[in-house]
With several copies, the nearest count.
Chain A
Amino acid sequence: MPDFIHAYDRMLLIRRFEEAVEQLFAEGRIMGTAHTCIGQEATAVGVAAALKPCDAITSTHRGHGHFLARGADPGRLLAELFGRANGYSRGRGGSQMMMDPSIGFYGTNGITGASVAFAAGLALQSRMTRGERVVVAFFGDGASSQGVLHETLNLASLWRLPLIALCEANGYAMSTPQAVGVSVASVADRGAAYGIPGVSVDGNDFEAVHDTVADLAARARRGEGPALLECRTYRLSGHSRGDRREYRTREEEADAWQREPIGRLAGRLREEGLLDDAGLAEHEAAAAARVAEAIAFAEASPEPDLATIAEGVFA
């Protein structure tokens, strides 16, 4: 059984972190762009909980949650958003280009869908070296329309790569409802197009995500090849900064808030007697403190050295 309390901590950390990011943008303290994942925490944390340290993840433009779930330092992550020298990419990457191979996190990615092919390459290395590593490649419902997804799933199936292509079906690609951008009811139905399992789970249910990923990872580790997993969730945040959310109603959002994953997991913790209200509040406070610390760290971080901007293009 996965560690529910740890999962709860991580989900809270992600939620508080993303709220802070939105706040910092609103206050003009950070620049550029970011896509927050409020409402999708259970998927990120469910995946992370199901993987081994040797495993790898590739992420998307909406990747803070994936990264934090996998164990990123919130301070360095935020320092990257502040464009500082000790951010994960030394201020060179920003929200959509952050990576830490030492924890098996192979990058957020600003090119919708593109990282899935990269993930297949990580999986190919694992297979060719008879490694234990399984790779989870996150992508969105919108990204599922990208040709590179098709090319990669076909190739991964033929080569039996230990790859889980994981679609976070959060209802929208920017403003485009899934039904307008995806020609099939569930992205999981496309598994059949590649002769691989296509599975769909409630992405707001931490345990369901965990269990499904654990199963598919075990299968991949046995050499039985890739799978396509759809996690159904909802993006409660706007797409990115400045999204007026005119493409959906406030009622729909309120409804979705009823199903958001953190409250749900809290209920579960209470039911199982793992945490009472006081315990929950303690964890709440700890997450908030961790984020406050991260902001302080990021703001105190040095600016990048402008003299070296052009350096490091080649190894």
Chain B
Amino acid sequence: MSQSTTAQIIRETLAAELRRDPRLFLMGEDIGAYGGSFGVTRGLLAEFGDQRIRNTPISESGFVGTAIGAAVAGMRPVVEIMFMDFITQAVDQLVNMAAKLHYVYGLNCPLVIRTAMGAGRSYGATHSQCLERLYFGVPGIKIVAPASGADFAALLQGAIADPNPVLFLEHKLLYPLRWEMPETPPEPVAPGSARIARAGTDVTIIGWSWMAFEAERAGASLADKEVEAEVIDLRSLAPLDMATLLASAGKTRRVLIVEEGPRTGGVAAEIAAQIAEQLPDGLDFPVQRLAMPDCPVPSARTMEAALMPNAATIAAAALDLATRV
């Protein structure tokens, strides 16, 4: 076992894949000498050279489009978009091109887009968003958002192995966290499966990325209050692992979904709708959502902290739901 940060785990997974598959290469702004804004690719340039660790100009639409073409031609591009907020510039290429290639032409597009999501660093409204909702409703794009060290390794391998475009979401607050990692890397996990982070019987808490991490802490804290929360780390937003969610919901009959992002129009709404549709008599109370209010993310630390759900507010909401009569 060894201790690694999330950033190191991503880097080592990328390095291993680069060693294994000569078709793999990385593209993105300042991923070379600088190692990317969050240092994830630091050191890879030295080992793999600038043909495989390609610094791009600041052209999110152009280089994502280029990566799509390269993927179709047989390469395995892994693109870094520095902040998820900038993926707004690649929507056309991803929605109108990548997402439709298999359906219309039967073409594989083995493309991974890694990007740093989320608030918590006082970066302000254009550097703090969770924009998975832009792609969540678009058929043809897979989305994964791990919350643990092992999953960053497992799901990144799974995303790279996938023949479809996959968004791989990395929360900024997870990068510096340290995890115990086994010497041999975990097996790949394909997009599409959730992880039971904590088993329980009284209430189901569903989250992903940083919210899954906080939910797990919330679940632990509830044990002191004699509430056994089942915490599900969604991991994969598209496809959704409804089987796991429904099994848990059917067992606990009380479901709380936590989302970092404005309440209206997020991923939680879809999960809530599906659970309600599929368990017509299975819940004691309607599915609850804990999310941010419908506003941009302000930069001031005080305001940002007040907006984001965290272990304490998740625990409070889950406790309320679990003990409601």
Contacts and interface: CB of A to CB of B under 8 A. Distances in A.
B307 A182 contact: no
Contacts of B164: 314-315
Interface string A47-91: 000000000000000000000000000000000000110000101
Interface in B62-101: 62-75, 77, 85-86, 92-93, 96-97, 100
Interface string A269-313: 000000000000000000000000000000000011010011111
A310 B304 CA distance: 11
A169 B56 CA distance: 18
A185 interface: no
B299 A97 contact: yes
29 contacts: A32-B123, A89-B104, A92-B104, A93-B105, A94-B122, A97-B105, A101-B72, A101-B107, A106-B69, A110-B123, A110-B124, A111-B126, A114-B96, A117-B62, A120-B62, A120-B65, A147-B62, A148-B61, A152-B59, A152-B62, A154-B57, A155-B66, A159-B54, A175-B32, A180-B55, A246-B33, A309-B293, A313-B102, A313-B294
Given A124-B70, A125-B70, A150-B62, 10 more contacts: A83-B299, A92-B104, A93-B298, A114-B65, A118-B69, A121-B73, A124-B75, A174-B34, A309-B306, A312-B102
Nearest to A81: B299
Given A99-B107, A122-B72, A314-B140, A247 B293 contact: no
B30 A175 contact: yes
Contacts of B67: 121
B59 A145 contact: yes
A129 B25 CA distance: 12
A214 interface: no
B72 A121 contact: yes
Interface residues on B, range: 35 or more
Contact of A92 (B54, B61, B85, B103): B103
Contacts, number: 244
Contacts of B71: 121
A119 interface: yes
B127 to A, nearest CB: 6
Given A121-B71, A122-B72, A181-B58, A114 B300 contact: no
A147 B142 CA distance: 27
Contact of B29 (A106, A154, A174, A243): A174
A214 to B, nearest CB: 23
A96 interface: yes
B296 interface: yes
Contacts of B61: 117, 147-148, 151
A122 B73 contact: yes
Contacts of A113: 58
A155 B62 contact: yes
Contact of A111 (B62, B64, B96, B299): B96
Contacts of A126: 73
A83 B59 CA distance: 31
A152 B66 contact: yes
B184 interface: no
B2 interface: no
Interface string A241-252: 001001100000
A87 B123 CA distance: 15
B280 interface: no
A interface, by DSSP: helix, strand, loop or mixed?
loop
A121 B70 contact: yes
Given A107-B105, A310-B293, A173 B299 contact: no
B323 interface: no
A241 to B, nearest CB: 11
A124 to B, nearest CB: 5
A212 interface: no
A158 B66 contact: no
Interface in A135-174: 142-143, 145-148, 150-152, 154-155, 158-159, 173-174
Q: Which of B63, B72, B86, B303 has most chain A Cβ within 10 Å? A: B303
A23 interface: no
B133 interface: no
Given A83-B299, A99-B105, A110 B127 contact: yes
Contacts of A151: 57, 59, 61-63
B65 A121 contact: yes
B104 to A, nearest CB: 5
Contact of A114 (B97, B121, B124, B306): B97
A225 to B, nearest CB: 15
Nearest to B126: A110
A307 to B, nearest CB: 9
A128 interface: yes
B75 A117 contact: no
A312 B106 CA distance: 7
Given A309-B307, A313-B139, A121 B68 contact: yes
Contacts of B316: none
B108 to A, nearest CB: 5
A31 interface: yes
A31 B303 CA distance: 12
A96 B127 contact: yes
A303 B298 CA distance: 13
Nearest to B127: A110
A95 B123 CA distance: 9
A124 B104 contact: no
A18 to B, nearest CB: 18
Interface in B284-318: 293-296, 298-303, 306-307
Interface in B259-276: none
